[in-house]
Chains A and B, each alone.
Chain A
Amino acid sequence: MKLIRLAIKQLRSRWLNSFLSIILLAFGVGIILLMTRFNEQYKAQMTNNLNGVDMVAGAKGSPLQLILSALFHADLPTGNVSLEDARKLIKHPFVKEGLTLSYGDNYEGFRIVGTEHAYIEWLKGNLKEGQLWNGKMEAVVGAELASIKNLNVGDEIVSAHGLVAGGDVHNENPYRITGILEANGSVLDRLILTATESIWAAHEGHDHAVEEEVTAVLVRFRSPVGFIQLPQFVSKQTNMQAALPKIELAQLYESLGVGIQTINGIAWLIMLVSGLSVFVSLYLSFKERKKELAFMRVFGASRTQMTVLVLLQSVFIAIIGFLLGMIFAVIGSNILTKLISERFPVHLNWFSFGRMELGIFFAVLLIALFAAILPAIQAFRVNISNTLRNA
């Protein structure tokens, strides 16, 4: 215990020496934690949000964009398609179930989606209060949104054109809230749901004659044959494009994975450099420290104690660096979430301490201890006589 206190005292009296090592260590740890958590969680959450949707059809454009906008309500829609095309697809014999989504409007930045009641079932949502929409201009809101905007059953909200707050406001046609959903961690939590007809009605008079259009069709296949037949059917028989979420996401994971691996590689490099810096700072300060070590030996301190003292200091650098790295990861995660939330609708859990964190902690500890081996041997071997003569 006293030895631990002594190690802290010595570290504190020479804190500038270890400052660089700690900062480097913290950066390495922070980046690795950030990347690893992101990698683990976004995959799980995105896959979880597929809800058995085998195919998405919509206006031609980037298939990934179609999937991100239709399934995760991130990114912009690719455009609209005719209701006729959508119905043709849903009636196809290989389709087990299908439903349409119409989006493109928002209420103060939260997306309004015109669809059918079945959509809530698909996403395993449940009503907490009130009831589902029945007529035009009735809406159900997600739990998170309701609490952020303090919305209650019976309130009226005014939609605006576009997906971000501040577009043209559809003042003449407000929505009345008839129900609020339970939070279930899906995209429902932040959506406003209504009948497809309501979306058309909101645009009436505004876009003059409104065509009957939807934005995307979500489809579940009757059998795996659908994976081969239906994309062809869509591209040949309709004016839509088909996107297969599993394939698109797999490609996304792969390209993101390469990036994450590169960043992780750099982070490990930073940690190794920090290990080197621990070594250099311990090694260079040895001339000065050994006078104190020799003086401790005068009072009976053992060589083992001196070795442990050096190792302890290295361990403390590792612990402080790791804790600071955890803080960096939390700060970085908030920034990252803000930066990517448009494209990756992932709600990440940044405050976890599990096997991964423990593993990184031990890796950091190992690096620090490794860096301290030579300085620890030096401490063991201090020549008291010579050192005290020159002190």
Chain B
Amino acid sequence: MLSTKGLEFSYTNGDAMVFPDIHLESKSNLLVLGPSGCGKTTLLHLICGFLNPQKGSIHINNENFGALSVSKKDAFRGKHIGVVFQQAKHFSGMNCLEHLEYASYFSGRKNKSDENRQLLNQLGLEASLKQQASSLSQGQLQRLNIAMALINKPLLILADEPTAALDDTNCERVIELLKEQAQATEAALLIITHDQRLKSQFQNQLSL
């Protein structure tokens, strides 16, 4: 599903970061652990196509993703990759349902409104369907972000410190949801974190 080989990246005036190879099968999970500043976010941005690798290759679903053009990467990401960030984000002036509607629209996928409702129900947002996202709590917003990452049924779900901003209860809930939903959509799940609370929850782990 996902395999990286010999990935290297350096920011201008920064040391080169060399990343270990990653192989991830469909329906499997991987937790990537590492201290702050070791390049976790950089790795995630490489896999998402926000950054271009300076050395090495990224293959997703047998596609040489790392070598695609910017617009092809955008299109590919929209269809096959779902991303969750440490800091939950939202679009201004939109309610929860509209967020899912637009997440589908951008990926170029036909959107079904009952699918959106169902997903939001599963993520415990049934009471907030028409609520402006700007007025959600941090935990609710993170769940909305997860719904947005899942709505297009991606092959690969990437999460960058999805629990860092959450308390223990929310932390556990979010991880449960991510694992559950990844399984339900048969997606591969890659979580990148320095949050030691997650260590016990994943069998496959990799340290940077």
Contacts and interface: CB of A to CB of B under 8 A. Distances in A.
Q: Do A and B come from one complex?
A: yes
Contact of A299 (B71, B87, B152): B152
A388 interface: yes
Interface in A257-299: 291-292, 295-299
Residue of A10, A304, A385 most packed against chain B (CB within 10 A) = A385
Given A9-B94, A389-B41, A301 B74 contact: yes
Interface in A294-335: 295-305
B121 to A, nearest CB: 21
A300 B75 contact: yes
Contacts of A12: 93
A229 interface: no
Interface string B181-192: 000000000000
Contact of B92 (A2, A13, A302, A304): A13
Contacts of B77: 298-300
Contacts of B106: 296-297, 299-301, 305
Interface residues of A, number: 25
Interface size class of B (residues with CB under 8 A): 20 to 34
B23 interface: no
Most buried by A among B83, B101, B106: B106
B85 interface: yes
B78 A385 contact: no
A297 B74 contact: yes
Interface stretch (B31-39, B44-52, B60-68): B44-52
A301 B75 CA distance: 7
Given A14-B92, A295-B91, A299-B103, A388 B50 contact: yes
Interface string B93-134: 110000001110111100000000000000000000000000
A301 B78 CA distance: 7
Contacts of B105: 2
A384 interface: yes
29 contacts: A9-B91, A9-B93, A9-B94, A12-B93, A13-B92, A292-B91, A292-B92, A296-B91, A296-B106, A297-B106, A298-B77, A299-B78, A299-B102, A300-B79, A300-B152, A301-B74, A301-B106, A302-B71, A302-B74, A303-B70, A303-B71, A304-B71, A305-B106, A384-B50, A385-B50, A388-B50, A389-B41, A391-B85, A391-B89
Interchain residue pairs A-B with the least CB separation, the first 7 = A300-B78, A13-B93, A299-B106, A301-B106, A385-B50, A300-B107, A13-B92
Interface of A: 2, 6, 9-10, 12-14, 291-292, 295-305, 384-385, 388-389, 391
